[in-house]
Amino acid sequence: MEQVIITNDLSELAMSIAIPTGEKSSFTLKEWLIKNLLSSIHAHPKQRNVYGYLTEISSFKGIFSIMRELIENDEKFRNFLKDILKDQYFPFEQTIRFVRNVLNHGTTSNLLIKLEDYEVQKDFILSPKVQRVNNLKGSALIKLNFVYSKYIQQRKGSPDYGIQFSIDFKQLKPGLQLEKLITWHNLYLLAELCYNLSLLRDAKQKIDKKPIRKDYTPNKKSNKEQNRELQRHQQRKPLAKNKR
């Protein structure tokens, strides 16, 4: 939609829009404000649209915050991710934690990282157990290299489609811009991956919750078949006993 606004001056189509906020209340977006915004975006296509930018930031913050909460507090969901992502679970989890920290602690429009965003996480990655389990060999380099066709068989399309980037926690310094570490495009791909994983989890839960008949056994005959056999058996004459 933003590309349509950039390439076409839609300001003349602006009108006041009432957004209902209750049975008898609403919030109104004024015509002049919408008109000025549309004109500004069209006139300066290379400048970042502050309203769209804030919407993107809020969306990313919500998606990655929820994913982190689920990883930390829902054991079944965490195990599901481990089963799906396999060797990519650790870099995925660490990436989600880092990005969520930066977005939640961000106080500037260009999202400069702070020491508190990564210091504890870097120490965790460099801890002996984590180093041994993930075979990091003294490195704090987290590489996310996820290809859908390799991990999610349900997905159709290009066999090379996925997401790839790395973060070296040893090289992080306060003041670095998040977009220099993870491109905006990769943030979208990461958000898409979170969404797709949540859909897969939802589908699996529906399958797991499907009721199974307690009286069901494979190849078991129906009640009608059992009754017919019983009747046939009762109508048979008993065999004569052998006389000595």
Q: Per residue of the chain (244 residues), give pLDDT as tens.
A: 667 778 888 888 889 988 888 888 888 888 988 888 888 888 887 776 666 677 788 889 999 999 999 999 999 999 999 999 999 999 999 999 999 999 988 766 678 999 999 999 999 999 999 999 999 999 999 999 999 999 987 777 788 999 999 999 999 999 999 989 999 899 999 999 999 999 999 888 887 776 655 555 555 555 566 566 656 655 554 444 444 4
Residue 146: phi, psi to the nearest 5?
A: -105, 120
Give the span between the Cα atoms of 64 and 143, in whole angstroms.
18
Give the span between the Cα atoms of 99 and 8, in whole angstroms.
34
Are 176 and 113 in contact by the 8 Å Cβ rule? The answer is: yes
Are 111 and 227 in contact by the 8 Å Cβ rule? The answer is: no
Does pTM top 0.85 for this prediction?
no
Can you tell me whether residue 183 is helix, strand or coil?
coil
Cα dihedral 95, 101, 104, 108 in deg (nearest 10): -100
